[in-house]
Amino acid sequence: MSLKSWFIKQQIRRQKDYFNNLSIMDLRNEMEAAFATLPMPQTAVVSESRFAKNLHGKWIKDDLSDTNSVLLYLHGGGFCQGSSQSYQRSGYDLVSITGIQMFLPDYRLAPESPFPAAIYDCVKAYDFLVEEGYAPDKIAIVADSAGSALALSTVSVLKKRNASLPACLVLLSPCVTVEIYDDPHIYRDLEQKDVMLSEKILRTFSNAYLNGHDPKDPLASPIYADLTGFPPIFISIGTDDMLIDSARSFYMRALDHCVDACFYVNDGCMHAHHLLGLYVPEAEETISKASVFLRKKLNLSLSYKHHKIPQVHLDKD
């Protein structure tokens, strides 16, 4: 583990009890305050677009971006927080390294809009890109944490419609199930290692999202979905992530369904470590591996110009 990664993890760990006792709305506000104001590099080009009634998203690119392909980024946040504003900087990290433009949609959040509202919105975002003229084999869905569940459920919906599927999926620190076990002891060991997530937070988000719905519904928990015919999947997760066991189980199920899937475990890394962007080596390595996968599956050359963006200093003043 790099010194930078270790230092950031210790900073976050000291605040874990504080975040563990916040309401969903307070957690949402904290996330926006922490990430929405991060400065964007001068190379970034950001514009807003409506993709459905009352639904908007951001286009993110730069002067070197391939505009014939597009990354549909479904942000994380436990189905209850996150936005195109708070994710635009980390989104540009991926844009700058992949050399591919991105569409980052806002979807409805729980508890105001519980399951399955967010899934419908993500399907609409995909349909929007197709209507804009992007061939499905030139669309890749990238997602992190809870956004990964939405990404997988989006593909399940597209399959049921017999629609053309995206070229591939990239799932970073993925949430693949919202089923929470009654016995809290199950989470004890992983919770001690994870500096961000806790059994309490996972349970809060799950209850808000499900609103009484069956957690075993494959659309809610895609670990139970029929993965036959799914596009290639890249999965990356850290050893210090509470979601690692379910992510590994999902990967094995994907292989059982003959999905072209790869699974990368990042030693010592916390949940959603990729959000640290190019500030820490582990995050840069994850983004770089994902970029190679994306360009291969989108049939783009691996020899290309791209911006390696300036580092963002995340230490508090």
Peptide bond into 222 cis (omega under 30): no
Neighbouring residues of 5: CB distance < 8 A, sequence distance ≥ 6 = 268, 269, 273, 276, 280, 281, 282, 283
Asked if residue 313 has pLDDT above 90, the reply is no
- The answer, yes or no, to whether residue 315 has pLDDT greater than 60, is no
- Nearest CA to 226 among 157, 139, 166? 157
Q: Which of 78-82, 197-201, 266-270 has the highest mean pLDDT?
A: 78-82
pTM for this model (two decimals): 0.94
CATH superfamily of 3-297: Alpha/Beta hydrolase fold, catalytic domain (3.40.50.1820)
Residue 34 above 90 pLDDT? no
Condensed to tens digits (0 to 9), the pLDDT of residues 121-135 reads 999 999 999 999 999
Omega cis (within 30) before 111: yes
The answer, yes or no, to whether residue 316 has pLDDT greater than 50, is: no
Amino acid 181: pLDDT: 86
Q: Mean pLDDT throughout 104-127?
A: 98
pLDDT tier at 307, thresholds 50, 70, 90: confident
- As a whole number, mean pLDDT of residues 42-60 equals 96
Mean pLDDT of 66-95: 96
When comparing pLDDT for 65 and 188, which is higher? 65
Range with the lowest mean pLDDT among 70-74, 163-167, 238-242, 312-316? 312-316
Q: How far is CA 107 from CA 9, 35, 117, 130, 216, in A?
A: 29, 18, 8, 18, 22
Asked whether the beta carbons of 91 and 73 are under 8 A apart, the reply is yes
Please, which pLDDT band fits residue 162 given cuts at 50, 70 and 90? very high
Burial pattern 190-206, b for ≥16 Cβ within 10 A else e, equals bbebbbbbbbebbbbbb
What's the confidence (pLDDT) of residue 317?
29
Is the pLDDT higher at 130 or at 311?
130
Return the percentage of the chain with pLDDT > 90, whole number. Answer: 75
**What is the pLDDT confidence band of residue 160, given thresholds at 50, 70 and 90?**
very high
Instruction: List, in sequence order, every residue forming a beta bridge with 74; answer none if it has no partner.
Output: 143
Name the band, by pLDDT with cuts 50, 70 and 90, for residue 276.
confident
Burial 32-69 (b: 16+ CB within 10 A, else e): beebeebeeeebbebeeeebbeebebbbbbbeebbeeb
